[in-house]
Homo-oligomer: A and B are copies of this chain.
């Protein structure tokens, strides 16, 4: 299942999950704008893709709408590097500011016996920023989102 790791004394959150499909397929699923509304932001939010231009220098912007009260939250960033089937580096900004509003995100897709080990490192500007970004249900939301995406990938996930 999905590991969510935040070690003491570090400024990042690591998310790791194995998918039962090869890296090319998993990468394709992660970068498919049509799939984003099906998994991004967990079940609490309805996410729409405003922009998603997956290439070096391309921009992305998603809007997540809280299903309970209708409040909308914008997220955006740019792609620093895109290596299809292998890795991506991008920026992540929560448009409403606050501690932890800005992250540098590194994602890798590693092949292991025909499956994929996906690792995402979200780097914050300080330990306090990282810790301020962690509401009590953060890990739960990430696990839920990863599970929703896994359900969309042929072969499922373990």
Interface size on A, residues (CB 8 A): 24
Segment 109-158 of A: residues with Cβ below 8 Å from B:
121, 123, 125-127
Determine whether the beta carbon of B93 is less than 8 Å from that of A80: yes
CA distance A91 to B89 in the complex (A): 10
Please state if B126 and A104 are interface contacts (CB–CB under 8 Å).
no
**11 A-B Cβ contacts within 8 A?**
A12-B125, A12-B126, A56-B78, A57-B57, A57-B78, A78-B80, A89-B91, A91-B91, A102-B104, A106-B125, A123-B123
Interface residues of A (CB under 8 A from B): 9-12, 56-59, 77-81, 89, 91, 93, 102, 104, 106, 121, 123, 125-127
